[in-house]
Structure 1
Amino acid sequence: MRFQVLGPLRVRLDRGQVPLAASREQRILAALLLDANRVVPVSRLVEAIWDEHPPTSSVKVVRNCVSMLRGRLAAAGGEIVTDSGGYSLRVPDGDIDLRVFADRARRGRRLAAAGELAGAVVHLREALALWRGPAFTGVTGRLIEAAAAQLNDQRRSLQEERLSLELTLGGGVELVDEIADLVAAEPLRERAHGQLMLALYRAGRRSEALGAYHHVRRLLVGELGIEPGRELTELHRAILNADPGLAPVTAPAAASRPEPSRPATPTKPVPAQLPAAPYAFTGRTAELDELCGLLDAATSAGTGMVAAVSGIAGVGKTALAVHFARLVVDRFPDGQLHVDLRGFHPTGPPLDPGEAVRGFLDAFGVPAQRLPEGLAAQSALLRTLLAGRRVLLVLDNARDSTHVRPLLPGGPGCLTLITSRNRLTGLVTTEGAHPISLAPLPPGDAHRMLARRVGAARLTAEPAAATTITARSAGLPLALAIVASRVVGQPHFPLRAIAAELEQALGGLEGFTGMDAETDVRSVFACSYRALTGPAARLFRLLSIHPGPDLGAVAAASLAGVPPSRVRPLLAELAHAHMVTEHVPGRYTVHDLLRAYAVERADIEEGEAGRLAVTRRMFDHYLGSAHLADLRLHPHRDPIRLPAAAAGVTVSVVDDREAAWSWFGQEHPVLLNLLRRAGADGHDVHAWQLGWAMTTYLDRCGHWYDQAIVQRLALEAADRVGDRDGQARAHRNISIAHLRRGLHGEARDHLWHAVRLYRGLGDQVGQARTMLNLGTVAEHRGQPRLALRYAEHAVRLFGAAGHRSGQANALNNAGWYHSQLGDHELALRQCQRALLLQQEAGDHYWQAHTWDSLGCAHHHLGQYPEATECYRQALSYWREAGERYYESATLTQLGDTHLAAGERRVAREVWQAALGILAELGQDTAPVLNKIRSTDEI
């Protein structure tokens, strides 16, 4: 590796090293390597050279240093590129020891999670072997030293993980010296002391192991005033009792050993996503027998099973997969997963495999904030979660082999059922999938299916008509179901009339036919379509313009341009005829084939002008409804001006905050689909404003991964129409999503884009809000003084704009940073002033921020009753707003105050509540867990 930072900073050539004598060049190179292949703003490089108070010539100095480095690094294969107000060091990841270390550590941890402990140890040893000393040895400066401290902590943690695995695999005597060195270097880390005790015990040195416990206990009591934690105490007791469980164990047994008891954290239920059993399922005996035989053989061999069911549209692939899955569901106790991949959706793209992977990870409780970047890494994480589990997966409506590969489990024990209109020969060839080609139902099974749906008596009374119906339905279960609904819905119609309509129907569904005319289902759809009333038929056509996956009555009313009271009976008529499905109360879906038919009817009967008008009403409905719902969640946001809504648009009634949460929860997938197609439909203004309106909901729910996607789409839409205000808002909202996920550099870059746009617009309020965001980023990067400067600049900008509520918010932020810097009296004065202004404005959300800041200042001044009351005020407003992220932070601080006041039990209860929220949001729970453990009664 040519670029080495895990020890002294070095750039290696084939012969010798690149000289890096000047400390400024070292600091700049270190900052570029930390964010290699990403743009590092000039401001960060200035910060790397000067901890604070840079000279006026700082930017020029940075440019000169970069110029010097650019020539020196070229020989080592590194290129420094000027880009977007900063510099990027372009170098392959494999040439940087830091990147190689992170990659091998990830691989080792994945293998450990999958129970492959020996392989995990190999990767972890390789990762640790890259270190030549403390990171960035000899490079000074606060920014680099902070990064080095984090890297050194990662090294130490990984070393402890590797030692833990080696102890699990039976290590002992050969590890004693190494662990003893770790203990000597950092004597207050309990985990290392426990490892030393176990290694000594394994080496036959029981008395020394017991002595090691008493040594660490004296240290903890003397230095920190606390007793050893539960794990260390239980290990001491086990050594005293010569517990057989301390003997070396094999890797499989080690993987199944229970962890020591810890404070309970919330757990998610085992996923059970299978759809309901298909109604009136008939036949398929040969296919079911084949699947059962394959599963039994795979179970006996200890392998997984993948079956690929293919056939024409409407042939019953999904019904077979779900029916078989429900037959064998008891054999897969670790969960059942289902996804509709929408591979042949007539009006929209297939479901992205990345979205499907993220849905499965969410089902297993993996928070969005902890998802790795990129489909390959997320797919690997899914395989890791499935390893060693017995899980059943139904991957429905796949486009091709590539569509499902990221979703396949990697190890034995799982059953995967895939359905597709294509023969997935790629999976058969490379993954060993078992192909099952599903033909239309034979006449006998088709007749029995129809009899189960309409009653045997009606078929017996008119056998010739029944034969005609089953023949014209081409053995397709979907077609049979539609005809059956017509028969049941018209009990006085003779079967021969319906059979005659089927015989006389002409045409076919292009793109949805089989190899011969008998698989044409247009005649079946046309028969049901003609039986509808005129208004219901028109609504059916218009539903094809909606992006899905489902819609409610008010959205359908806007599509049709009629009041909701008129559209609800039409939806009921369509549901009765099985032209739509009410899959949950008040929400309707349309099957792919029926939607295709609706598209054809809309093209013929509505015309281009009619379709454009419907599309405009649809975008107006969702933008108006989302804007209203957002104002219920966050009434004090800076306003935007919506386009005037077209005639006939109905906005959803969102009366209060609870209704807003419910509306966004239902419409979230629809809004994402609208954003994706906005460019093609020419509704870019609607798109960026929809993204703006979704921000509060996504942020407060912790959907920060989706928030980043939504805001990128909004930014692209604002770019297309040249709307600089929309661009600035999207940049700010992207930064919030990045900040929540710990991507501080990316957050800062987007904020500076927003600053430049707001300055060009002369928007002082926008600049001020962005300064507050920059302060938050600086705080998270451990720079409270810089954060304070941003907040004070925001105070001035808000004041110049006459924006009193914004000025109050900036005063609170400045007060908070004063408290972080130790000036709690000044913090109290500023936050009290901020609170008065916020109370005048009636802004409860920002009052919560300020009450929290006041609580912090009172706590540090030893005024615990006042601090407690402030925190409780903050909590009431956080809960009112549904703000879970900040609620957990306030609870953590409230627990600290109770502990300082001597209320140990209450502190634990409060921390437990914070712990539950953190686990739910996928945030780091270790700090709160450590607080809880520190109060454990031994």
Structure 2
Amino acid sequence: MVEIRLLGEVAVVVAGRLVDLGPARQRCVWAALAVDVNHVVPVRRLVERVWGEDAPDRVRATLLSYVSRLRQALADADGVALVRRSGGYLLAVDQSAVDLCRFRELWAHARAAEDAGAVALLSEALELWRGEPLTGVAGQWAEDERERLRRERPAAEHDLVDARQRTGRDDGLVPLLAARVVEHPLDERVAAQYLLALHRAGRSADALGHYRLFRARLVEELGTDPGGRLQQLHQRILDADSTLTVTTPTTPTTPTTQSTSTTPIDGVTAVVAVPRQLPAAPPHFTGRNPELATITSLVDGTSGGRTVVISAIAGTGGVGKTWLALTWANQWAERFPGGQLFVDLHGFSPTEQPLTPDAALYGFLTALGTSPERIPVELDTRAALYRSLVADRRMLIVLDNAATSDQVEPLLPGGQASTVLITSRRTLHRLVTRHGAHGLGLDVLTDTEAHALLAHRLGPRRLTDEPAAASDLLAFCQGFPLALGILTARAHTDPDLPLANLAAELRDHGIDALDDADPTTSLPAVLSWSLRGLTPDQRTVFALLGVAPGPDIGLPAAANLAGLPERETRAALRALVDASLIDLGPDGRYAMHNLVRAYATAHAHTLPEDVRLAALRRVVDFYLHTADAAGHLTAPHTASIRPAPPAPDVRPHPLPDQVSAMAWLNTEHPHLLAAQQTAAAHHRHDTVWHIAQTLSALHMRRGHVHDDLAVWQAALDAAAHLADPAKQIRAHRRTGVALTRLGRPEEAVDHLHRALALAGRHHDTDQQAGGHLALAGVWDRLGDARQALEHAGRGLDLFRALDEPVQVANALNSVGWYAARLGDHDTARDHCQAALALHRRHQDHLGEAHTLDSLGYLAHQAGDHREAVRHYEQAVTLRRTLGDSYEVANTLDSAGHPYAALGDHERARAVWREALELYRVQGRHTDAERVRRQLGG
């Protein structure tokens, strides 16, 4: 199903999904075709509509591009086509899919219909209007077209009033026409309708008074008397003409605002009015089209006209919940002839306590026409009266800023015709389970929406004049509407204030730059109100999340941070999610917006220092000891120095096997990096060193070479404060290895020589052997395979003396590799086969994969390409199993050559394409460029 909307925000909806129509001019192209649906619009006219009469010739190419993009956007929309015709373009679609065409068709049918049918047809036609026509389309043509459409709507509205008055459907007309006579003060048709509505509502004196005012205005401004029709109506009202009153309406009527009809309820006689309590629509509302469409679809999609409760326009303070509710409510207010009620429940107010339900009901009942002395005292009776008054009326009720379900439930209407919009910072679960409420969680603005808001408030030129500063403001706010609103208000009130000054203030002061003496325009103050109703433990957890290392957090880490059992921690986190202070992602991890996190961080520094420091110690130790266990599972044959046991209040996450260990390391990688930084900031030097060690295997296998260098440089700085020389030696060696991988061999040599010198001074043979193997890799990078072979041989001799079979196997493979590089195939083969046997005997799959790779290279160099392919394929299989994507890329790169030599060019291309993609992901641009050349050849 396709909907093409022009009577409001220009949009296309396909099967309930909003289609992205692209940038402003492209959207204008769409509108320029849609207003003339199924008619050819000449290119010249299309260009004039979009770019104006003085458009340069080159825009025709741009027009072609826009049409092409629109076709792509509508590719999955059945029944819609953008067709090229001689001299122009045509939008082909069933006209009933276009709201403008449908509106005009219904209006035309209404003019030929009987009065009762005309009411139904005109009501349906006017419900198609969603606001200002062609919203989102700029330019002179759009403004002219908008003006033409603006004239059509009131004409249809006047026809509807005439039809309703002919059939006696006068319900709600007095307040409606009271507003229209203000909008059209000299329109005799509207004046006549208002006089008749007042007379039928029992307010003949008011009708005659309005006629006198209207006649005086006509005489004063136009120098003429009212026309004959209005004069005749005036005389008939003076004569109390009984034929003006329709005594038997065709449908039951709902009492109007000033109706004198009464409803007895539990002994109370209530006069029912039609309230219009909605505040005005927000003036700078931007975006939110999917959310607006969701609300509309929920209201449209309810079967049987049952009450719709949209409880969870929920989100953190300042995210724009009220703006969304009021924007939708104002767009669709006319769909609710029974009236609109609005109340701010002050659930999160800086100066007021939450409004009680009985106080809110008192306001609703008086708005509905109940005399104050007739309003019951008891809450239940008061709520029953309210439900009875609205039971048969189609009303919109907006309950803004609700605190709890208890506050809201008595305000839910009876009957089956009303719609309720509720905004709250909390997710009101009971409304969902007990009342079938629909949830709509509100997130921050998208980048496009945030930019549009900034441009709308400040003007596009101000942004283009300072693009860097504008980007800084957007990056800091990250789509947070209140933050954007505060900044744009400051910039708007001071047009000479450079945006760069605002950006500098944000950099210097962070969230404090968004503080203000007025709590409603202070982001820290607005966020602080969300802490109301939280327990002390929940507030502490919120504050500690602000200082937790990493971008988000899982439940086990959060439990260690809080020092609580997982069950209690989960409950606290759920409360923070319900309060819209944090988000629970589909992966089960908890995160918060950067500005909310900045507020939480500031709040954390109000906690006692020992509480904050103990929490950081626990969570950092949690990451360290879980990562240490993961390291032993993923690299069981790698020698490591174990950290001291964790404190009794630290509970590392259990990891049953190598697969779960690698998965945990992948997920927690950014948090381990952040944990190392936290440890360094608190001078926990031993922890800094051990975190670097636990990350080595992951960094080697995933190709995180830059991260590997960073953690080992931090470990090297920490090792200077430690008494253990082995840690300094390893830090120098690992720093050298990381530099080698980054293609910086000259720097690597310096660190590796330092490692060797320290190892020799402290008689650490194991580190001497490892240092020689690392130096072999550097010399290989420098193109000196002979020097590399010499260092590999020294490493082999030292490991043999230590009787470490796995390390001997690694060294044998290194000697074999460098011998192969020098063309000594016999030596290479002997050493590599010996290495392979040792690795398999000790089940060292990582070393086995390395050796198979060497044997593949050796076989290829010897011309045995099938044997090379066999070894390479075995190596790739092992490396994939181990999650060693860094070396998978290398082996695939190498395997392409024997495939090509065998004439299997398709397979060669396939492995090179995969290697190329891995190189790109790993940031190995030199390798990627080399493989790209291989593919080109």
Shorter-normalised TM range: 0.3 to 0.5
Please report the TM-score for the alignment, with normalisation by the length of structure 2: 0.46
Please report the TM-score for the alignment, with normalisation by the length of structure 1: 0.46
Which structure: larger Rg?
2
Q: Which structure has the higher relative contact order (CA within 8 Å, separation 6+)?
A: 1
